[in-house]
Amino acid sequence: MRSVLFLIAALVLPGCSRPPALPGTAGAPAPAPGTNAASSGTDTGTDAATLQATDVPPLLAAVDDGADPPSVMLNRYVAALLNRDRSASDAAWTIAPGDPRHADDAALRQLQDLRTLRLHSDTPIARDDLQPPRLLEVPVQVRAVTANGTFRFNGWYRVQPSSDGRAWQIQSAQLRPTLD
């Protein structure tokens, strides 16, 4: 009985480890060694030409090519918060919060005696079905050091292209305090 199970496993496992071929790619040459298959920004085991041929748009294509990615824009925003530069921090938003106490990230804006503020962002997630996506959710972890201690927050910032399509702007946010 065990030998039959091993035989079945030996026949099934090689089929599970090989991704199915994409339509129209039969006989397509594999990328040459030393070439960067992830030149489009994703590495799914297929080459960039195949990804472009299937019309998979890049995640950040809704803004100009020279625009900073959302992670850089969010780091600048956090630096403006740290420096208490309200005009710069409000400029990062599509619609700036009128009252910092009612902002989506009011927990950060209201920290007193802020010494350091560090933001770590993960890969954005598309939150609409448009191609290319126009609403991205950027998961973040924030660490704030104040005179009263260290505070940590987890959550996300949702970003969208500015009205002129030249940069990303914050549309909304959700941050929750976490315990160490």
Q: Is a pLDDT exceeding 80 seen at residue 46?
A: no
At 3 the pLDDT is 52
Does 74 have pLDDT greater than 50? yes
Q: Summarize pLDDT for 114-166 with one digit per residue, the tens.
A: 999 999 999 999 999 988 999 999 999 999 999 999 999 999 999 999 999 99
pLDDT tens readout for residues 135-147: 999 999 999 999 9
Q: Summarize pLDDT for 6-26 with one digit per residue, the tens.
A: 445 454 444 444 444 444 444
Please report the pLDDT score of residue 36 as a whole number: 41
Of 144, 168, 173, nearest to 158 by C-alpha is: 173
Domains contained in the chain, CATH given? 2-53 (no CATH), 70-178 (3.10.450.50)
Rounded mean pLDDT of the chain?
A: 77
Residue 146 dihedral angles phi and psi, to the nearest 5°: -125, 180
